[in-house]
Structure 1
Amino acid sequence: MQIYTSLVATCISTIGLFASGEWRTLHGEMNAFSTGRLSYVTTLVWTAYSFVGSHSVAALIVFRDKMNGVKIIATLMALRGFTSYIYQNYIDNSKARKTRANAEGATNDSLC
């Protein structure tokens, strides 16, 4: 039940982020982060991990549930999926920046 609540909250937050246009300022926010871009991304990753991995950890603490192999594998799979998602976004963003830089360079060369 908790997963559905988190999923709905994530969807609503994501829709709100794009509907408000605030997603355009995320790059500037990352660059303005006082301890650097890597620290900003690391903070986001660990925050997301705390939500992804918190269900099994909370069950261990609150319900005194035992950590078995299935729970460990499920947590590791969730982390791997999330890490893959973040890495693919990084690759896509890098390619888009290179393409944009090449297009701007070609435009500037043709104007000269």
Structure 2
Amino acid sequence: SVSKGKYAIGFVCTVAASAGYGLMLSLTQLCFQKVLKKQTFKTVLDMIIYQSVVATLIILVGLFASGDWKGLDREMKAFELGKVSYVMVLVWTAITWQVFSIGAVGLIFEVSALFSNVISTLGLPIVPVLAVIFFHETMTGIKAIAMVLAIWGFVSYVYQHYLDDRRS
């Protein structure tokens, strides 16, 4: 029921979001190397805090500029499990994303942006498997293809490192 134009816009936005995430990881590594030049855990936490504050401000500006903030109460009331569950889902999602951010930026700090992205991609197949196990969702073809592509990307990364090590 989606028009071809909206489908194309969705596809372009998905590819742009993926490229933006990769760019963010690379810019984080560049910032560590060229701007901060410090090798401390405090630097990692500062980087996460700065990125989170900027992202939060941009999202809040977008939320209020678009007028979507008016529908939050309606959305909360329409949530099947209730208002408290709605808020808890948002809070725990925010907490888990912060934990993920600490891990991702920590990997950039210790290894590289590419390795952080590869490890993030390797985690992608875990989510559908856990959803099938705990929430009894069906394993669709799209989920299976996404899992295969994520595993393929990780195996390609490991194999390339194997070839590079063999050459040296």
Give the TM-score taking structure 1 as reference length. Answer: 0.47
Higher RCO (Cα < 8 Å, 6 or more apart):
2
